Structure 1
Amino acid sequence: MNVLPADGRMIPKWRYGWGCLLLLPVAAWLVLFATGSLLVVADPVRSSDAIVLLSGGGNERVGEALNLYGQGKGDILILTDTGDVYPGSNIAAVRVLREELLKRGVDEDDILITRGMSTSTYDEARHVLTAMINNELESALVITDPYHVFRTRLLFREVFRGSGIRVLVQPAGDHWYKPATWFFSTRGWRATISEYSKLVALLFGVRGG
Structure 2
Amino acid sequence: VGDEIKVIYRQVYVFGKFLCLAAVIYLLIVLTHRFWLPSMANYLKIENEPRLVDLIVVATPYRPRFLYALDLLQKGYADRIVLLGDARIKMTWSGKTSLELAKNEALKNGVPDSKIYTHHSTGTRGDAYAAEALMSLLGLKSAMVISDPLNMRRLSMIFKDTFARSGIELTYVPINQRKDPFGYWWQSSYSFVYVIKEWIKLPINFFML
TM-score, normalised by the number of residues in structure 1 = 0.78
Which range is displaced more, 102-111 or 147-156?
102-111
Partner of 1:75, secondary structure, is coil
Match of 2:135 in 1: 132
Deviations for 1:74-110, whole angstroms, at most 9, x for unmatched residues? 1101111322222245433211210011112322222
Pick the aligned partner of 1:33 from 18, 35, 38.
38
Measured after TM superposition, the shift of residue 144 of structure 1 is: 0.8
1:196 and 1:95 mapped to 2: Cα distance? Answer: 31
Aligned length: 182
Structure (1/2) with the larger helix percentage = 2
Pick the aligned partner of 1:61 from 65, 87, 91.
65
The answer to whether the 8 Å contact 1:177/1:188 transfers is no
The answer to whether the 8 Å contact 1:80/1:124 transfers is yes
Partner of 2:90, secondary structure, is coil
Match of 1:164 in 2: 167
Matched, 1:42 2:67: no
Measured after TM superposition, the shift of residue 177 of structure 1 is: 6.6
> One-letter code of the match for 1:196?
W
Measured after TM superposition, the shift of residue 23 of structure 1 is: 11
Q: How many percent of aligned residue pairs carry the same amino acid? A: 26
The answer to whether the 8 Å contact 1:53/1:142 transfers is yes
Which range is displaced more, 170-179 or 70-79?
170-179
1:203 and 1:61 mapped to 2: Cα distance? Answer: 24
Match of 2:7 in 1: none
The answer to whether the 8 Å contact 1:47/1:73 transfers is yes
Runs of 4+, deviation exceeding 4 Å = 21-25
Report the RMSD for the aligned CA atoms in angstroms: 2.3
**Gaps (5+ residues) in structure 1?**
1-20
Measured after TM superposition, the shift of residue 137 of structure 1 is: 1.1
Matched, 1:201 2:207: no
**Gaps (5+ residues) in structure 2?**
1-26
Pick the aligned partner of 1:82 from 76, 79, 86.
86
> One-letter code of the match for 1:37?
N
Bigger radius of gyration: 2
TM-score, normalised by the number of residues in structure 2 = 0.78
